[in-house]
């Protein structure tokens, strides 16, 4: 049987963490300590940060273990570079489709009978 990907263990009470995003009153990179853990399927943490702010119900995606913070920053920078490299190629592929909208309404996802009804109404008013 194939091995599954190892999932990080949840944080434990008393563990040192660092904020990975700007939170209200907590700048990114602020260290703190996990005080309480809530939830079974969606874990949230109460963290007492070193700048004096006590924040509850923080999702695990906004904090990381203090020892893993440097590798987290490197991984996030690598993902950002990969995203920037892929963005120009995707923009070039989408440009021709935006310049030539389909006449039958498939590009707008509006049913054809509604487009036809609107077209007839404009003709009656003399707008088309």
Q: Is residue 53 in some structural domain?
A: yes
Range of the domain at 60: 16-70
Single pTM value for the model? 0.60
Domain assignment present for residue 60? The answer is yes
CB atoms within 10 A of CB 27: 12
Could you tell me the pLDDT band of residue 84, with boundaries at 50, 70 and 90? confident
pLDDT in tens, 7-40: 578 899 999 999 999 999 999 999 999 999 998 8
In angstroms, rounded to a whole number, what is the distance separating the alpha carbons of residues 32 and 19?
Answer: 8
CB distance 49 to 30 below 8 Å: yes
Domain presence at residue 66: yes
Q: Looking at the 3D structure of the chain, how many domains does it have?
A: 1
Residues 6 or more apart whose CB falls under 8 angstroms from that of 84 comprise none
The CATH code of the domain that includes 30 is 2.30.30
């Amino acid at each position: 049987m194939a091995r599954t990907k190892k999932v990080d263990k949840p944080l434990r009470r008393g563990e040192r963490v660092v904020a990975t995003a700007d939170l209200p009153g907590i700048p990114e990179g602020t260290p703190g300590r996990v005080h309480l853990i809530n939830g079974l399927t969606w874990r949230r943490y109460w963290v007492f940060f070193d700048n004096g702010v006590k924040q509850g119900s923080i999702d695990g995606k906004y904090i990381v273990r203090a020892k893993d913070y440097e590798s987290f920053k490197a991984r996030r920078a690598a993902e950002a570079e990969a995203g920037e490299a892929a963005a120009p190629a995707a923009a070039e592929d989408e440009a021709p489709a935006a310049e030539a909208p389909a006449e039958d309404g498939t590009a707008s996802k509006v049913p054809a009978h509604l487009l036809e009804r609107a077209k007839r109404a404009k003709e009656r008013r003399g707008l088309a």
